[in-house]
Structure 1
């Protein structure tokens, strides 16, 4: 192939009578991202999309045999990487040394909408040409009609799918707002300050928290993380929410609250073990008059208690996750304080329990920082940590200051 044709601003192909690629110019190789040895000798179908293969079989090849040339045919090529390239094809059949070959010029047409409109026009023109030739190829016409019906069917299915996606998106957005609206507001008084942060990794989250004032001196704080992410986990958290809200505001002990949540999860999946989900959770009841914290940690990452003197005590697991084992006993543990202190509760999207406790160090380095400023410091550290480790998970944490 001479240099002028090899580097022409369009693709060039020479095909055998059977459709095998005999020669290809550098321009087309660059468009398709192939080396010459990878496609020379292979059938033309290798560089065509599936619809284009069918189109060539039913229209391109029969018409070329009838007319010996074709002008302005639009088909789609497929690159090595699977990208679809619409092209305009002109082709001519000729004899070369006693063999019949087809030479094709392929001009890329990258505007898809124009390509689709031109493809419809080309198909209509082809149909008119076939009718003018007194329906010389009845089988081809029937195949094109069948293809048209399939295209219309696919268009209708695509339309239905698009509507379904819009409806689903609206429903997910409503569910997300419902989930966020269920979260409790910060509590601030002369005994305690409670604030929280929550961010779902997708539309819905498997993390949830709540904190409530039980009476004049008692406060209940809970944080949960349902196994997995997305809709199924979010549905489970939302089913748990009214239950733990009612149990906590009624003043049930941490052990009883966890037992009721555990019983609820077992009842949800009693007839379907494959769908079973478990949930890690930690619930604390803080009594500011007695200066005492009672808690149950059901398989959750350890909460951190930091005393007024800077001493840190992790609140480790006291029981397995809820929903995991039947007849689990949830025994509570206690922690007393005298001069106030600070609590940090979190889910594993904030800090992997197997990783270094970088937030524990942050709390130790800023013992007197107001809770609002500490929250911003944590968010900054969380952002830097995610940038370094490329994590994607639901994020949730609670900060509590006791005076």
Structure 2
């Protein structure tokens, strides 16, 4: 690395395609309070905060591979002393000496608070100058000029922040599309009929579900609700999605699916308790040949099973939410059913207590086709929102077993 780049007024970082640090200039080393040898060869995760690691894994690196560049992305680094450093990063994927590398320009964003503090200090100095008659007029003019300069700097900074806000909004929209694309379609055939509703309260959701046909007679349905409904919750839903998709598609037993998801959450936050998230979950394995359902419920609102004659049963929780306690045993419950029964799974954004309106509505509409029942539930949701303006992610799954 040449001398000018090594001591440039911004950080410079070169990564391999899989995220390992190849080179870093002295400016960035000084910002992070690391020595050169301690970072070279390490994965970039070693200088990222926990949320930034998730963000880089599911957004930054996929975007680089897709577009070969990233422009003006906001992310947080973690210095050697544990300090969180907000930065702006521009990155370009290119070939250097027949090797593909990712070159990154990193600009610290800590100056805004300093500018604001200086502006407030200048304002106080100006007010003091006006009140103090013994202050010379020249000092007052100097202070006013300083205030004007700092004001202009703040205006320019606000313009930059507005640009960053717009770009962030675009990135969130892209993340929302990616999240919704991962959701599976309902299955409809001569054995099962399904309807699904999914509505995020913001750009991103903490709800995630999966519907899979494992073989000719078995179907797996899982519904999870990760704590919160922001960016961090959405990132966690994507890590859980890839895991439960693989497990359920392979026909792994119900209790082992829940155990693997629980272990994944514990490992994800082993080194950072403050960032820990938990998730409620319910998983059902339906066998249409044996006419039985295996299920496990980890702190999730109870699913509702209704026999053809209208008798209802709640599939209640038998374990705490995923990621809360180590060594939890997830018990598989089993029941047999008669054809013509109806199943409802939902998150607490739809009905915190099933007795509120879902159970009576399903019983009242036992003869209605599934798509009409879905419309009835949506109408109830709209009526509830007119009374209670609280916003939460909303997801429910309806299943008729023929």
TM-score normalised by the shorter chain: which range applies?
0.5 to 0.7
Q: What is the 5 A alignment of 1:163-312?
A: 163-312=163-312
Q: What are the superposed Cα offsets for residues 355-394 of structure 1, whole Å, 9 maximum, x if unpaired?
A: 7331110110011211111111100001112222222111
Distance in 2 separating the partners of 1:52 and 1:369: 69
Q: What is the 5 A alignment of 1:133-172?
A: 137-172=137-172
Aligned: 1:399 with 2:398: yes
What SS does the aligned partner of 1:188 have? coil
Distance in 2 separating the partners of 1:357 and 1:351: 7
Q: What are the superposed Cα offsets for residues 6-30 of structure 1, whole Å, 9 maximum, x if unpaired?
A: xxxxxxxxxxxxxxxxxxxxxxxxx
Matched residue, 1:389: 388
Distance in 1 separating the partners of 2:269 and 2:123: 49
Alpha-carbon offset, residue 176 of structure 1: 0.7
Alpha-carbon offset, residue 165 of structure 1: 0.8
Distance in 1 separating the partners of 2:255 and 2:375: 33
Q: What are the superposed Cα offsets for residues 59-82 of structure 1, whole Å, 9 maximum, x if unpaired?
A: 7x89xx9xxxxxxxxxxxxxxxxx
What SS does the aligned partner of 1:221 have? strand
After superposing the two structures, state which structure 1 stretch, 318-327 or 50-59, moved more. Answer: 50-59
- Higher gyration radius (CA): 1
Distance in 1 separating the partners of 2:324 and 2:121: 49
Distance in 1 separating the partners of 2:279 and 2:319: 12
What SS does the aligned partner of 1:187 have? coil
Matched residue, 1:369: 368
Distance in 2 separating the partners of 1:50 and 1:394: 44
Q: Is the 8 A contact 2:122 2:143 kept in 1?
A: no
Q: What are the superposed Cα offsets for residues 250-285 of structure 1, whole Å, 9 maximum, x if unpaired?
A: 001111110110110011011112211111000000
Root-mean-square deviation over aligned CA pairs = 2.1
Matched residue, 1:119: none
Aligned in 2, Cα 1:356/1:313: closer, same or farther, shift over 3 Å? closer
Q: Is the 8 A contact 2:123 2:147 kept in 1?
A: no
Q: Which runs of 5+ in 1 are unaligned?
A: 1-48, 66-135
Q: Is the 8 A contact 1:205 1:233 kept in 2?
A: yes
After superposing the two structures, state which structure 1 stretch, 330-339 or 382-391, moved more. Answer: 382-391
Q: Is the 8 A contact 1:58 1:144 kept in 2?
A: no
Q: Which runs of 5+ in 2 are unaligned?
A: 1-119
Alpha-carbon offset, residue 137 of structure 1: 2.7
Q: Is the 8 A contact 1:255 1:330 kept in 2?
A: yes
Q: Is the 8 A contact 2:207 2:237 kept in 1?
A: yes
Distance in 2 separating the partners of 1:243 and 1:154: 46
Q: Is the 8 A contact 2:122 2:147 kept in 1?
A: no
> Which stretches of structure 1, 4 residues or longer, exceed 6 Å deviation after superposition?
49-57
Q: What is the 5 A alignment of 1:312-331?
A: 312-331=312-331
